[in-house]
Amino acid sequence: MWPWAHAALGYLAYTLYLRGRFSERPVGLPVVALGFGTQLPDLIDKTLAWYVGVLPYGRSLAHSLLTGTVIMLAVVAVLRLRGAETSGTALAIGYASHFFGDAFGSLVSLSFGDLVFLAWPLAPSPSTETVGILTHLRDIEGSPLFLFGLGLTVVGLGLWYRHGLPGLRELVGLLTSEGRSPESDVE
Q: Write down the pTM of the prediction.
A: 0.86
Longest dimension (CA), the chain: 47
pLDDT of residue 187: 43
Q: Provide mean pLDDT across the span 14-21.
A: 95
Residue pair 28/186 in contact by the 8 Å Cβ criterion: yes
- Distance between CA 89 and CA 146 in Å, rounded? 28
> What one-character DSSP code corresponds to residue 52?
S
- Report pLDDT digits (tens) over 50-68: 889 898 888 999 999 999 9
Share of residues in the chain with pLDDT > 90 (%): 63
Taking the C-alpha atoms of residue 177 and residue 70, their distance in angstroms, rounded to an integer, is 30
Q: Which of 110-119, 151-160, 177-186 has the lowest mean pLDDT?
A: 177-186
The answer to whether the beta carbons of residues 63 and 43 sit under 8 Å apart is no
Please choose, from the candidates 5, 35, 22, the residue with its C-alpha nearest in 3D space to the C-alpha of residue 165. Answer: 35
Condensed to tens digits (0 to 9), the pLDDT of residues 72-101 reads 899 999 999 999 999 999 999 999 999 999
Backbone CA torsion sign across 52, 58, 60, 63: positive
Nearest alpha-carbon partner for 166 in 19, 33, 41: 33
